[in-house]
């Protein structure tokens, strides 16, 4: 790896961010994320219909598991998409790749609505569904990592948590809109018509949403951080190239922390937003709309909590929220699922609220924490790889949970699953280094104005002094040990 020529950091080295561009970046990134989760919301709520349309010859239990499996299998292809788009994003820029991923993602989601039923084309129906979901999974492999990086590299250091929280605000909003659209269409056309043709309409909506997202992303400039990195690379005789093996060797801890945080967050996400609708109707025997409307209400509440968590993390740090969210999963998951089975609307709402708040604490800081783990030159590729490896495991949550519940006939299996997930979260929090209010690795400090730039510079210098003091203290300790050992040897002074 090349070594940069280091000079003292001065006030002119602090990047002053154009706040209007930051807002546009957030809108463009959040809309793409909203489309991704719009599909997840729709798919989760029409899984029972897709089972009947594409797997009509199976029992209701097998239909549901098969539909959820079709949701989960494409996750295996996400690391390939992450690897492909990640390295392109580090080479050619974040903006270009995000424009490509949103096209593939919206077109593939739209394509689900075009696939004929099993009765029309036989076995080709589920095969085409799987192919379209694989294409979708491949594009999504580069979507979230790129969007999180795009927002992080456009955000001032002291507001990165708040800015990043809007990315997953888009996730929750996309899910709520998807679930709401399904409920609205079901109510408007009736259950029979929805199963016959109405389920296709929500998937058609992904195309116009994707075109809007493409327009927003295409109109944005490349991030200031990547532009500065590109200029630095252009001045070198031999531009830096970092291979996959080097990333694994030099950034193992950051990769593992990324995997742990994403795993804990997304298992909870998929359990709450994708699996529970089918769990309510199939395992608890509630009507299709009974649990759906309650989940939508809880998700709307999460929308208001999300930015608050991000903003608060800029004040007290990201680690406290990872600890709090993970411990909440360990303590609250079992009682929450007991409440879900009471058939009492208020108690079901309380149970969902407990799970949702646990999720909010984790997802509220994820988009600001993950990009800060890696330096600019490998940020996209390293994050995309680690993120999507975790998502492969997390994406199997609905299928594994449904299968375990059917096999064991124990409806508390999802609670045990989340308790284990919370344990991984606590371990991750222990190894996570605090990133709040600090510059991104390999990037200049970023501020909204000159006054904040001066404060950041002072804080940056104080941080360096603290690190030097710790190093000096360590040197003194090592020197004492060296002297102690030297005294025991006749030939060493």
Query: Is residue 275 a part of any domain in this protein?
Result: yes
Q: What pLDDT digit, counting tens, does each position of 157-208 carry?
A: 889 999 999 988 988 888 888 878 888 898 888 888 888 888 899 889 888 8
| Closest to 147 (Cα-Cα) out of 237, 26, 250 | 26
What is the per-residue pLDDT for 237? Answer: 63
Which CATH number goes with the domain that contains 410? 1.20.1250.20
Residue 20 inside a domain? The answer is no
Is the pLDDT at 309 greater than 90? The verdict is yes
- Please tell me the least confidently modeled range out of 95-99, 211-215, 245-249: 245-249
The verdict on residue 56 lying in a domain is yes
407 within 8 A of 120, measured Cβ to Cβ? no
If you average pLDDT over every residue of the chain, what do you get? 84
Residue 371 shares a structural domain with residue 472: no
Average pLDDT of the residues in 64-91: 79
Q: Does one domain contain both 157 and 127?
A: yes
Q: Are residues 458 and 347 in the same domain?
A: no
**Range 251-278 average pLDDT:** 88
Average pLDDT over residues 276-292: 72
What's the CA gap between 101 and 95, in Å, rounded? 10
Tell me the per-residue pLDDT of 19-31, one tens digit each, with 9 for 90 and over: 788 888 888 888 8
C-alpha distance from residue 220 to each of 290, 347, 407 (Å):
42, 46, 50
Q: Which has the higher per-residue pLDDT, 283 or 419?
A: 419
Q: Is 222 exposed, middle or buried (0-12, 13-18, 19+ CB in 10 A)?
A: middle
pLDDT band for 338, please (50, 70, 90 cuts). very high
**In this model, does residue 279 exceed pLDDT 50?**
yes
Cα–Cα dist 441/153, whole Å: 11
Summarize the confidence of residues 290-306 as an average pLDDT.
79
**Which of the two residues, 462 and 265, has the higher pLDDT score?**
265
Let me know if 219 is exposed, middle or buried by CB neighbors in 10 A (0-12, 13-18, 19+): exposed
pLDDT level of residue 335 (50, 70, 90 thresholds): very high
pLDDT recorded at residue 371? 93
- Is residue 12 domain-resident? no
Q: Residue 15 forms beta bridges with which residues?
A: 446
- Residue 316 pLDDT exceeds 90: yes
395 lies in the same domain as 283: yes
pLDDT for position 415: 93
Structure tokens given for 159: 């507001």
pLDDT band for 222, please (50, 70, 90 cuts).
confident
| Any domain includes 345 | yes
Number of domains the chain contains:
2
CA distance 358 to 322: 9
- The whole-model pTM stands at 0.82
Q: Are residues 336 and 429 in the same domain?
A: yes
Give ∠ CA 422-137-163 in degrees, rounded to 5: 60
**Same domain flag for 304 and 401:** yes
- Average pLDDT on 297-314 reads 89
In a domain, 81, yes or no: yes
pLDDT average, residue stretch 252-265? 93
Does 355 share its domain with 468?
no
**Which pLDDT belongs to residue 418?**
95
Residue 244 covered by a domain: no
pLDDT of amino acid 5: 56
Same domain as 353, residue 489? no
Instruction: Based on the fold, state whether residues 53 and 159 are members of the same structural domain.
Output: yes
What distance, in Å, lies between the first and last C-alpha atoms of the chain? 37
288 and 184, same structural domain?
yes
The two tokens of residue 133 are 């979901």
DSSP 8-state code for residue 223: P
Of residues 14, 1, 148, 30, the one with CA closest to residue 446:
14
Least confident of 13-27, 150-164, 356-370: 13-27
- Identify the band that residue 2 occupies on the pLDDT scale cut at 50, 70 and 90: very low
Instruction: Tell me: pLDDT of 63 over 80.
Output: no
**pLDDT given for residue 217 in this prediction:** 83
Burial class of 477 by CB neighbour count within 10 A (0 to 12, 13 to 18, 19+): exposed
Confidence of residue 291 (pLDDT cuts 50, 70, 90): low
Query: Do 402 and 493 belong to one domain?
Result: no
Going by pLDDT thresholds of 50, 70 and 90, the confidence category of residue 327 is very high
Are 73 and 127 members of one domain?
yes
- Which of 221, 222, 242 shows the shortest CA–CA distance to 381? 242
- The per-residue pLDDT for range 230-239, each reduced to its tens digit, is 877 777 666 6
Domain of 460, in residue numbers: 450-493
CA atoms within 13 A on the CB side of 127: 4
pLDDT of 1 over the 60 cut: no
Measured between alpha carbons, how far is 441 from 460 in angstroms, rounded to an integer? 13
Token pair recorded at residue 205 = 């909506």
Confidence band (pLDDT; 50, 70, 90) for 72? low
Q: Of 466, 442, 465, 451, give the one whose Cα is nearest residue 11.
A: 451
Whether residue 156 is contained in a domain is answered as: yes
């Amino acid at each position: 790896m090349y070594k940069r020529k280091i000079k003292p950091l001065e006030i002119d080295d602090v990047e002053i961010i154009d706040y209007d561009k930051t807002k546009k970046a957030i809108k463009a990134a959040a809309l793409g994320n909203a489309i991704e989760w719009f599909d997840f919301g729709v798919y989760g709520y029409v899984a029972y219909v897709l089972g009947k349309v594409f797997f009509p010859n199976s029992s209701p239990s097998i239909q549901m598991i098969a539909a959820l499996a079709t949701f989960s299998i494409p996750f295996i292809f996400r690391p390939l998409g992450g690897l492909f788009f990640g390295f392109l994003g580090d080479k050619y820029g974040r903006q270009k790749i995000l424009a490509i991923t949103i096209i593939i993602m919206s077109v593939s989601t739209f394509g689900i609505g075009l696939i004929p039923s099993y009765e029309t084309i036989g076995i080709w129906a589920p095969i085409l569904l799987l192919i379209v979901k694989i294409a979708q999974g491949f594009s999504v492999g580069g979507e979230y990592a790129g969007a999180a990086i795009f927002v992080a590299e456009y955000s001032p250091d002291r507001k990165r948590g708040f800015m990043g929280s809007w990315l997953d605000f888009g996730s929750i909003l996309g899910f709520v809109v998807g679930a709401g659209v399904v409920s609205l269409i079901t109510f408007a056309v009736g259950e029979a018509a929805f199963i016959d043709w109405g389920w296709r309409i929500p998937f058609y909506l992904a195309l116009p949403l994707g075109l809007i997202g493409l327009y927003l992303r295409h109109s944005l400039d490349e991030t200031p951080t990547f532009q500065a990195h590109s200029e630095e690379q252009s001045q070198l005789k031999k531009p830096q190239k970092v291979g996959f093996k080097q990333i694994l060797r030099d950034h193992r801890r950051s990769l593992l922390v990324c995997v742990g945080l994403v795993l804990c967050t997304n298992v909870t996400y998929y359990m709450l937003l994708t699996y529970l609708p089918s769990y309510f109707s199939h395992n608890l025997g509630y009507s299709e709309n009974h649990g759906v409307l309650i989940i939508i209400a809880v998700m709307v509440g999460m929308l208001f909590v999300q930015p608050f968590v991000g903003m608060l993390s800029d004040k007290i740090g990201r680690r406290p929220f990872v600890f709090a969210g993970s411990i909440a999963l360990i303590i609250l998951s079992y009682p929450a699922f007991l409440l879900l089975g009471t058939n009492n609307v208020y108690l079901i709402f309380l149970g969902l609220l407990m799970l949702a708040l646990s999720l909010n604490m984790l997802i509220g800081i994820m988009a600001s924490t993950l990009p800060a783990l890696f330096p600019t030159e490998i940020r996209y590729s390293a994050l995309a790889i680690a993120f999507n490896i975790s998502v492969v495991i997390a994406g199997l949550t609905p299928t594994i949970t449904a299968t375990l519940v059917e096999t064991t006939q124990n409806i508390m299996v999802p609670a045990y699953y989340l308790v284990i997930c919370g344990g991984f979260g606590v371990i991750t929090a222990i190894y996570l280094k605090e990133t709040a209010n600090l510059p991104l690795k390999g990037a200049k400090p970023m501020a909204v104005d000159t006054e904040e730039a001066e404060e950041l510079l002072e804080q940056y210098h104080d941080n360096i002094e603290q690190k030097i003091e710790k190093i000096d203290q360590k040197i003194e300790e090592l020197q004492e040990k060296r002297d102690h050992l030297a005294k025991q040897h006749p030939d060493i002074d």
